[in-house]
């Protein structure tokens, strides 16, 4: 009964005119940036963080950011299918068979399959969020400092395991993020540390400046370096309605992809990317005619698209219940909550039920908006693909600079954006993924606070982390993840997956 009353509260919150408007803006903007290759949801949300500060209402701002995130999953498939260039990393697998379907004159069917599979998966995954978030929140309320510290260890270790490329580089990025999180004032004593005598560092590094620099500016620099003419193969898309045979072939992959993505989305690091690749591998193995994959198999579109959208939705579970980000976008969502004066974690559901349930219900509304709007607007998205990136990036840079400056009216933050933009670009050239860095930066203060609080409670005895059952169990999980990912067979398979994605 509580579930229905909570959902009713969520519908009342999400269905206000203002929140419906922000949800619509979010899903449209998300689809747009998903369609335009090279921008990405993470960079866009990072650049829009200052706007959320100006909106004022935290519910509206979080609904808009969430819409951008799962809207981008929809939009990413459009470019993957039409020009063989995924708008989102999680849509890379969709390009394999989606583009071949377009070349065979079935672009409309491929786009409709991606949209319908995404809608079903997003709807089911949002229902799972509504079911599992409350009990997880109640469990999290029993956590003490030791348990939260161990939980963050699991999150950071998982982000290392699921990061691209070298595990050593991913570990270095986490450590760098944790160190950047230490800049400012001591959380217990208030004394300055690592400030280099710069007064602006006394309150710590500006989260918005770091996020916009590492993801927004760095991504723009990379795109300018790799900019080339994009040729749209299909100028006019027809035949959007899949045939009866298409529906028969896509039903099972959509169901399997939804289940797989819902489970993997909770994992910290890159659940939606991992889910789409795992779904494609699964569909190829269970297919009666695996030789069709790579030549336009509709299962190769339906499964991965369902998986990555389900994963995008369930990644909200650890963020809403535990205050632990499952991916960089969730880290930015936590940053938006902090900007609005909300402490992420299990207390959000009890203290701000309208925000908690309004955000969940808005995902249903947003998915419905996406299926209604996306297919009729495909012609518009096709035209936007012809816009040169060199025309887009100056406007993006100007918008980012104005937004960052508006948060604290500090010119110093603009220098910080430039510095972290260059840092992000250098890290990309060194093949160091910035996602673990951002997760470490967001979790750093909480990581330190719970570590020190647990040590104070135990009077300096570190055994508190292994004598408390939940804490010991979480540390065992973290150790198991590290052991598994370092196994030769697992490491080889992991490298193969990420090589395929980069290709």
Taking CA atoms, 241 is separated from 167, 237, 238, in Å, by: 44, 11, 9
The residue extents of the domains of the chain are: 3-137+148-203+249-500
Q: What pTM did the predictor assign? A: 0.70
For residues 118 and 306, the answer to whether their CB atoms sit within 8 Å is yes
Check residue 488 and give its pLDDT.
Answer: 62
- Asked if 26 contacts 363 with a C-beta cutoff of 8 angstroms, the reply is no
pLDDT of residue 491: 57
pLDDT at 387: 66
List the one residue out of 135, 30, 75, 62 whose CA is nearest residue 361: 62
Question: In this predicted structure, what is the pLDDT of residue 501?
Answer: 47
Tens digit of each residue's pLDDT (9 = 90 or more) over 27-40: 888 888 777 655 66
Instruction: Give the chain's residues under pLDDT 50.
Output: 1, 229-231, 500-503
Instruction: Give me the pLDDT at residue 291, please.
Output: 76
pLDDT at position 1 is 45
Can you give 329-368 as a three-state secondary structure string?
A: HHHHHHHHHHHCCCCCCCHHHHHCHHHHHHHHHHHHHHHH
What is the model's pLDDT at position 461?
Answer: 87
Provide the pLDDT for residue 135.
79
């Amino acid at each position: 009964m509580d579930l229905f009353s909570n959902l009713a509260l969520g519908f009342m919150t999400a269905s206000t005119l203002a929140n419906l408007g922000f949800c619509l803006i979010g899903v449209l903007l998300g689809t747009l940036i998903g369609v335009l290759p090279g921008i990405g949801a993470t960079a866009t949300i990072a650049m829009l963080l200052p706007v959320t500060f100006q909106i004022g209402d935290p519910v509206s701002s979080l609904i808009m950011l969430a819409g951008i995130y799962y809207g981008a999953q929809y939009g990413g498939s459009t470019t993957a299918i039409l020009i063989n260039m995924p708008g989102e990393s999680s849509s890379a697998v969709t390009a394999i068979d989606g583009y071949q379907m377009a070349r065979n004159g079935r672009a409309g069917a491929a786009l409709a399959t991606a949209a319908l599979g995404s809608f079903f998966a997003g709807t089911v995954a949002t229902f799972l969020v509504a079911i599992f978030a409350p009990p997880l929140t109640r469990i999290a309320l029993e956590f003490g400092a030791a348990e939260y510290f161990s939980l963050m260890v699991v999150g950071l270790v998982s982000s290392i395991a699921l990061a691209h490329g070298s595990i050593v580089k991913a570990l270095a990025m986490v450590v760098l993020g944790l160190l950047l999180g230490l800049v400012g004032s001591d959380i217990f004593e208030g004394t300055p540390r690592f400030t280099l005598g710069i007064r602006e560092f006394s309150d710590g590094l500006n989260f918005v400046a770091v996020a916009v620099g590492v993801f927004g500016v760095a991504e723009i620099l990379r795109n300018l370096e790799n900019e080339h003419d994009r040729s749209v193969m299909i100028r006019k898309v027809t035949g959007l309605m899949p045939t009866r045979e298409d529906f028969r072939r896509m039903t099972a992959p959509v169901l399997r992809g939804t289940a797989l993505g819902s489970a993997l989305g909770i994992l910290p690091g890159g659940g939606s990317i991992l889910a789409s690749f795992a779904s494609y591998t699964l569909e190829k193995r269970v297919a009666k005619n695996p030789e069709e994959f790579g030549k336009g198999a509709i299962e190769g579109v339906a499964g991965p698209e369902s998986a990555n959208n389900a994963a995008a939705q369930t990644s909200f579970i650890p963020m809403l219940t535990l205050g632990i980000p499952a991916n960089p976008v969730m880290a930015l969502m936590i940053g938006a909550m902090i900007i609005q004066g909300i402490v992420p974690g299990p207390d959000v559901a009890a203290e701000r039920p309208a925000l908690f349930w309004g955000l969940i219900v808005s995902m249903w509304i947003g998915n419905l908006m996406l299926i209604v709007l996306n297919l009729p607007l495909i012609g518009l998205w096709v035209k936007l693909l012809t816009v040169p990136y060199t025309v887009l990036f100056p406007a993006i840079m100007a918008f980012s600079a104005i937004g960052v400056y508006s948060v604290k009216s500090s010119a110093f933050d603009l220098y910080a954006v430039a510095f972290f933009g260059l840092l992000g670009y250098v890290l990309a050239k060194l093949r160091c993924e910035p996602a673990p860095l951002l997760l470490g930066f967001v979790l750093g203060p909480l990581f330190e606070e719970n570590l020190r609080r647990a040590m104070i409670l135990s009077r300096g005895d570190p055994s508190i982390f292994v004598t408390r059952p939940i804490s010991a169990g979480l540390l065992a999980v973290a150790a198991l993840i590290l052991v598994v990912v370092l196994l030769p067979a697992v490491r080889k398979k992991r490298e193969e997956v990420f090589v395929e994605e980069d290709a």
